[in-house]
Chain A
Amino acid sequence: RKEVEQDPGPFNVPEGATVAFNCTYSNSASQSFFWYRQDCRKEPKLLMSVYSSGNEDGRFTAQLNRASQYISLLIRDSKLSDSATYLCVVNKYGGSQGNLIFGKGTKLSVKP
């Protein structure tokens, strides 16, 4: 099983749609979880951390299921500017806080 696995997409959705991304991770002892966003040929940028209780930031909701080793990201009322690749990221267990394991990303394209 890959360390962090995501559906590569692409997800092509109209403006205003709700879209959900899923991610699984292999190491049950992982402690920290994140969603990053990466625009084409740009650096990754933190979108949000993911907490066990689930968390929301505006149109974005992240969920973590430790038992299933599953992370999700929900985007509501999608905007053209949401078009990007969404990276599921897990802190490497036993590694430093900055030793992050990235998924390959799910590409989202929001159309008018």
Chain B
Amino acid sequence: EPEVTQTPSHQVTQMGQEVILRCVPISNHLYFYWYRQILGQKVEFLVSFYNNEISEKSEIFDDQFSVERPDGSNFTLKIRSTKLEDSAMYFCASRTRGGGELFFGEGSRLTVL
């Protein structure tokens, strides 16, 4: 069964460092998303991406965050200068069309020290 894959599964970084989280969405999917979940909290929308541009972003997704689809398969989330409060599980998701089921990856756990 096709799935969304994410790497790394866990990354530990120092405050102020740049982090790139990688995702390979399901191959025929067109819409891509990043969500995050701080431990013990709810899942929160960060950004959606379609047709090689950001279609929507939340207030969490500030100038420290960026997304990119550098080739036909990868979808990355970059955090330029990590803060302690960026520690969370980051989920990538994709869907084939508007209204279709959203498929989540297993997540990348980011720990900022």
Contacts and interface: CB of A to CB of B under 8 A. Distances in A.
Interface string B40-68: 01111100101000011000000000000
Contact of A97 (B42, B99, B106): B99
Interface stretch (B14-22, B70-78, B80-88, B90-98): B90-98
A16 B35 CA distance: 34
B101 interface: yes
Interface of B: 31, 33, 35, 41-45, 48, 50, 55-56, 89, 91, 93, 95, 98-102, 104-107
A96 B100 CA distance: 12
Contacts of A38: 43
Given A98-B48, A99-B48, A44 B99 contact: no
Contact of A96 (B55, B89, B91, B105): B55
A44 B56 contact: no
A97 B56 CA distance: 11
A46 B106 contact: no
A101 interface: yes
Given A43-B107, A44-B43, A104-B42, A99 B56 contact: yes
Interface string A27-42: 0000010000010011
Contacts of A97: 31, 95, 98-100
Which 5 A-B pairs rank lowest in CB-CB distance, beginning with the nearest?
Answer: A43-B104, A102-B43, A104-B42, A97-B98, A102-B42
A94 B35 CA distance: 18
Contacts of B101: 46
Contacts of A92: 45
Contacts of B91: 43-44
